[in-house]
Amino acid sequence: MLLEVRDLHVEFVTRDGVAKAVNGVSYAVGEGETLAVLGESGSGKSVTAQAVMGILDTPPGRIGAGEILFQGRDLLKLKEEERRRIRGARMAMIFQDALSALNPVLSVGDQLGEMFVVHRGMSKKDARARAVELMDRVRIPGAAQRVRDYPHQFSGGMRQRIMIAMALALEPALVIADEPTTALDVTVQAQVMDLLAELQREFHMGLILITHDLGVVADVADRIAVMYAGRIVESAPVHDIYKAPAHPYTRGLLDSIPRLDQKGQELYAIKGLPPNLMNIPPGCAFNPRCPMAQDVCRTDEPPLYEVDRHRGSACHFWRDCVNG
Amino acid sequence: MVEAIIEVDGLVKHYPLTQGVLFKKQVGAVKAVDGVDFVLNKGETLGIVGESGCGKSTVARMLVHLERPTAGLIKYKGEDITGLSGRALKAVRRNIQMVFQDPYTSLNPRMTVGDIIGEPYEIHPEAAPRGDRRRRVQDLLDVVGLNPEYVNRYPHQFSGGQRQRIGIARGLALRPEVIVADEPVSALDVSVQAQVINLLARLQKDFDLSYVFIAHDLSIVRHISDRVGVMYLGRIVETGRDEEIYDHPTHPYTQALLSAVPVPDPEAREHRERIILSGDVPSPTNVPSGCRFRTRCWKARERCALEVPLLAVPAVFRHVPGPAAHDSACHFAEETRVVPPEEPAGEAPDDLDEGGA
């Protein structure tokens, strides 16, 4: 396995109390594989990724327990110095909002070139040449002229492609993309996802795609991990989960997508609201919103049951759920 | 009997670009909306879809008089309301209300929920006698599914979905006939979106409302709309009943837009044909001649640069009645099905049962 996260716990200490953002998350990504981490705001999907990248704000954040094994080494045991050498070179991140992730006062050429100067010790001139190559690679028209331009001079789609170029500059083994197309229009989103998939095939890298969009997941992912209130509630190969979800939350999300044959009818809606992370309900965190909840769900926290060799579900009644 | 409640005719909004400080001179214009026509019938939902910068929000703002059109007419029940001011405008405004996109910035954080929802009564005191307002506000909270006891709370005490309900309650306060909803669910989480869509659908029935529903999420627009207009760079390029647009699109932009939407079905991955458009939307300050989509269109020919295509039933379909015969502003309109037909509910009938429960 390229990356293995084991039983990760992250909490944030705030004035009002401790927010338990990640409560025992485990997942793994292999080389060339795409893992989609699906969840709503506050589900802990981004915080987990930040912990993997080592860019969590500490304090207020705190990694309580867990292991993050990257190419066999536990990143949490490394010194910051060693992590810095890995970050950017062997694992890289693509952020949602390219405009705020790029430095507004440096030209895109300088920012792309910096990767080569810092990690590879190249001269500025060589680094600039590599920057042009990269911009070409992500199909920025007129790369040689535009390398001196600043981020605000590019459109949203082009900025996101520059972010992708920067993430892939040093051919990392793992890329984490946090909602990479959420801020983009659909036609541009399709361009960007296409490019990302193409580059992933070419470099055979592992990709963690963090998203809330079930459509994007169906398009590109090999496996899905569904997160709710800081835990993985279901983990499965992409085809299985759309065919027969094994957790009522996943089922609820799939059912709330408007379908043609439901036009004019009421949409299925998951009742209630996601829980407050400072006060997660006892038992299964989803139980107050769950149509299948029984007494045991209010008292016993479900482990990730094995549905089959490739699937897990954190629902006491996953059998009923899979069978509809 | 179909009765038009709003008619929009040749609506234009240009924002001038000026140069110089003392002697300002106009050097160009941002053509945000550049000739839009549509009709909203009583009790129906007109969906307007398009990408950012296509002018859909500007259209919404003109409908509720937050922007004054540069040219064109907006008629409410047959009467031109574009040039109204003062008392006459106020009277019309009561009947056309807006629900905004962002429930975080569209509610004043220093006002209580009761004050926010009751504020329309301050502006239109004739709508409700002073002594009756608190009760009305509580009724409205109940109508949108919030606890009436929340009147004294502040917006920050609510989640995004609840705030959007507050925004909807405010929109309903004056009992309008038309609600213009500009991306009302796009800021919400997936599990909460469906709740708000259901609420809007229920309110439409209960209060006999007509909606202009603006969004970029094509599947939600399809679910709620009777008719759909597709906008590109300040103009409507195609319009028709929902199945005409979604199943029988004839404009290449609509086809590209529909094909680009990710389908939540991994089985569709292999046999789905996607049209990936090259490049970005041109700047509205410098709109291409002729057809404005031609710079990204794979079908563009010389004629497209010379002649502006009109929004009408294309000649090829004019004499063949059928779903392809609807308004489409393309010289080379062709019918192409881009979204694979959805399988009838056979595969997962259980889901539906549960959905209804």
Per-residue pLDDT of A22-80, as tens digits, reads 999 999 999 999 999 998 888 999 999 999 999 988 888 899 889 999 998 999 998 98
> What is chain B's pLDDT, residue by residue, as a tens digit (357 residues)?
688 999 999 999 999 888 877 777 888 888 999 999 999 999 999 999 988 888 999 999 999 999 999 999 999 999 999 988 888 898 899 999 999 888 888 899 999 999 999 999 999 988 888 888 899 999 999 999 888 888 999 998 888 888 999 999 999 999 999 999 998 888 888 888 888 899 999 999 999 999 999 988 888 899 999 999 999 999 999 999 988 999 899 999 999 998 888 888 888 777 777 888 887 788 888 899 999 999 999 999 999 999 999 999 988 888 888 888 899 999 999 888 776 655 544 444 444 344 333
Same domain for B133 and B277, yes or no, is: no
Same domain for A29 and A135, yes or no, is: yes
Flag whether B232 is in a domain. no
- Number of structural domains, chain A? 2
Same domain for B68 and B173, yes or no, is: yes
Flag whether B212 is in a domain. yes
Please name the member of B194, B279, B281 whose beta carbon is closest to the beta carbon of A267: B194
- Say yes or no for a CB contact (<8 Å) between B189 and A256: no
Whether residue B357 lies within 8 A of chain A, CB to CB, comes out as yes
Flag whether B83 is in a domain. yes
Nearest chain A CA: its distance from B164 CA (Å) = 13
Please name the member of B223, B259, B264 whose beta carbon is closest to the beta carbon of A215: B264
pTM: 0.84
Alpha carbon A19 to chain centroid distance? Answer: 20
Domain residues for the domain of B206 are 4-20+27-225
Flag whether B39 is in a domain. yes
- Say yes or no for a CB contact (<8 Å) between A40 and B161: no
Q: Residue A11 in contact with residue A64, Cβ under 8 Å?
A: yes
Q: For residue B45, give both structure tokens.
A: 């939902």
Whether residue A269 lies within 8 A of chain B, CB to CB, comes out as yes
Same domain for B206 and B301, yes or no, is: no
Please name the member of B223, B279, B280 whose beta carbon is closest to the beta carbon of A267: B223
Whether residue A97 lies within 8 A of chain B, CB to CB, comes out as no
Domain residues for the domain of A247 are 228-322
Same domain for B77 and B194, yes or no, is: yes
> Nearest to residue A92, comparing CAs of A212, A225, A200?
A200
Whether residue A255 lies within 8 A of chain B, CB to CB, comes out as yes
Flag whether B340 is in a domain. no
Flag whether B165 is in a domain. yes
Q: Residue B72 in contact with residue B239, Cβ under 8 Å?
A: no
Flag whether B356 is in a domain. no
Whether residue B264 lies within 8 A of chain A, CB to CB, comes out as yes
The β-bridge partners of B99 are B181
Same domain for A154 and A254, yes or no, is: no
Residue A122, number of CB atoms within 10 A of its CB: 16
- Number of structural domains, chain B? 2
ipTM over 0.90: no
Same domain for B217 and B257, yes or no, is: no
Same domain for A250 and A216, yes or no, is: no
Same domain for B156 and B64, yes or no, is: yes
Flag whether B261 is in a domain. yes
Same domain for B162 and B87, yes or no, is: yes
CATH number, domain containing residue A182: 3.40.50.300
Q: Which of A221, A240, A263 is the last residue of a domain?
A: A221
Same domain for A190 and A71, yes or no, is: yes
Same domain for B163 and B286, yes or no, is: no
Whether residue B295 lies within 8 A of chain A, CB to CB, comes out as no
CATH number, domain containing residue B185: 3.40.50.300
For residues A4 and B191, give the distance between their C-alpha atoms in angstroms, rounded to a whole number.
29
Same domain for B258 and B299, yes or no, is: yes
Considering only CA atoms, give the Rg of chain B. Answer: 22
Report in angstroms the alpha-carbon separations of B306 from A177, B224, B280, B290, B331. 43, 37, 21, 5, 11
Interface test with chain B among A227, A261, A273, A317, by most B beta carbons within 10 Å? A273
Taking a contact as any Cβ pair under 8 Å apart, which residues of chain B between 189 and 218 contact chain A? 189-195, 197-198, 201-202, 216, 218
Same domain for B186 and B284, yes or no, is: no
Same domain for A236 and A173, yes or no, is: no
CB < 8 Å to A38, chain B? none
Taking a contact as any Cβ pair under 8 Å apart, which residues of chain A between 59 and 88 contact chain B? none
For residues A185 and B205, give the distance between their C-alpha atoms in angstroms, rounded to a whole number.
32
Same domain for A118 and A191, yes or no, is: yes
For residues B357 and B354, give the distance between their C-alpha atoms in angstroms, rounded to a whole number.
5
CB < 8 Å to A254, chain B? 264, 351
